[in-house]
């Protein structure tokens, strides 16, 4: 987990946003959409990769975000992976 953290924690802020977490989750399951998400982040269409990532992973994000801060800390990700 530590090895890939920097790739998904854009800006090295120490936590993952919902989009960063979703992108990581899909990549971990073999669906790396990182490049498509980066290209589409500014758009608002429901058919854009960034929106699809958020929709597909919202439930898992809610499970992982134990403190309801709307971001995932390394500790929360570790706990999520251990569950």
pTM of the model: 0.83
Phi then psi for 11, rounded to 5 degrees? 85, 0
Distance CA 39, CA 60 (A): 24
pLDDT in tens, 9-63: 998 999 999 999 999 999 888 988 888 887 776 666 666 788 889 999 999 999 9
Domains in the chain (CATH in brackets) are: 2-82 (1.10.238)
R_g of the chain, CA atoms, integer Å: 12
Residues whose CB is less than 8 angstroms from the CB of residue 41 and which lie 6 or more positions away in sequence, other chains included = 19, 50
Q: Between residues 33 and 70, which one has the greater pLDDT? A: 70
């Amino acid at each position: 987990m530590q090895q890939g953290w920097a790739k998904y924690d854009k800006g090295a802020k120490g936590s993952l946003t919902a989009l960063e977490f979703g992108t990581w989750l899909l990549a971990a399951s073999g669906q790396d959409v990182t490049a498509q998400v980066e290209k589409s982040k500014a758009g608002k269409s429901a058919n854009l990769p960034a929106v699809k990532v958020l929709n597909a992973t919202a439930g898992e994000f809610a499970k992982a975000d134990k403190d309801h801060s709307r971001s995932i800390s390394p500790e929360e990700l570790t706990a999520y992976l251990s569950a």
